[in-house]
């Protein structure tokens, strides 16, 4: 039985145009972990929060296409925390939980399965060399709470990405993100130093973490049956490892 997996999210997951490359969203590589029975439809958009995604009618557009048996992956948080921007800011204690519940309700109305993904972590380390547990503020923990309260499957990508960064270390994790010197790429003539957005290698790594989380989630048995067991990921150092 075939189905569509929709991604609602921000720039960390979104498709990137030619003018943005080599910046890459993890959603660009998720299809590679599924056979033709699952079609990934990536609706994530740069700069969006739960609030602006809803206000712009983007969830409503997804709802028109959702069918019974589909999946709605929901990952936000990075832009919800922008207090300086009223169009995007969603208070983590009040607005953010309510917004997430609207996404969940939308999927369930259509007979689709909502899946919450905690925000993928920024590359931010503490003085002791550990990844900063507040790299995306309170939003990952709030999403965990909403998942528990609404009985919604949760993929803890924040925890998984922090584990990856911690294993690689502060310098070793640098290549996962957009760090380019001046004149290294025509799209970034002045260079770039960005610890939120992923390089192509980083996007591949995060997509692999998402696929692993699906495989480990008992609540997603139907979806994980569609995973391609031989899907491979290239790890730091060139090692190739199957899912």
- Write the pLDDT tens digit of every residue in 160-182: 999 999 999 999 999 999 999 99
The domain locations on the chain are: 3-242
Dist. CA 71–CA 68, nearest whole Å: 9
Class of domain 3-242: alpha beta
Q: Is the pLDDT of residue 137 over 50?
A: yes
Whether 235 and 242 have beta carbons less than 8 Å apart is answered as no
User: In the chain, at which residue ranges do the beta strands (DSSP E only) sit?
Assistant: 3-9, 38-42, 71-75, 113-117, 154-155, 177-180, 192-198, 232-234, 240-242
Q: Is the pLDDT of residue 240 over 90?
A: no
Supply the pLDDT for residue 193.
Answer: 97
């Amino acid at each position: 039985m075939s189905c569509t997996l929709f991604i609602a999210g921000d720039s960390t997951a979104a498709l990137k145009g030619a003018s943005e490359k080599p910046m890459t969203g993890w959603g660009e590589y998720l299809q590679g972990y599924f056979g033709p029975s699952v079609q990934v439809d990536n609706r994530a958009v740069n700069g969006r929060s739960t609030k602006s995604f809803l206000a712009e009618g983007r969830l409503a557009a997804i709802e028109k296409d959702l069918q019974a048996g589909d999946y709605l992956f929901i990952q936000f948080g990075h832009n919800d925390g922008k207090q300086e921007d009223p169009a995007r800011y969603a208070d983590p204690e009040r607005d953010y939980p309510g917004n997430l519940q609207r996404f969940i309700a939308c999927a369930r109305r259509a007979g689709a399965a909502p899946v919450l993904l905690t925000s993928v972590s920024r590359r931010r380390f503490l003085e002791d060399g550990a990844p900063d547990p507040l790299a995306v503020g309170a939003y990952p923990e709030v999403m965990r709470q909403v998942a528990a309260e609404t009985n919604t499957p949760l993929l803890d990508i924040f925890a998984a990405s922090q584990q990856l960064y911690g294993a690689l270390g502060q310098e070793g994790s640098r290549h996962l993100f957009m760090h380019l010197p001046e004149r290294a790429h025509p799209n970034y003539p002045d260079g770039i130093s960005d610890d939120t957005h992923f390089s192509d290698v980083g996007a591949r790594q995060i997509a692999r973490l998402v696929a692993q989380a699906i495989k480990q989630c008992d609540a997603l048995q139907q979806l994980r049956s569609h995973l391609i067991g031989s899907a491979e990921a290239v790890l730091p150092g060139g090692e190739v490892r199957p899912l």
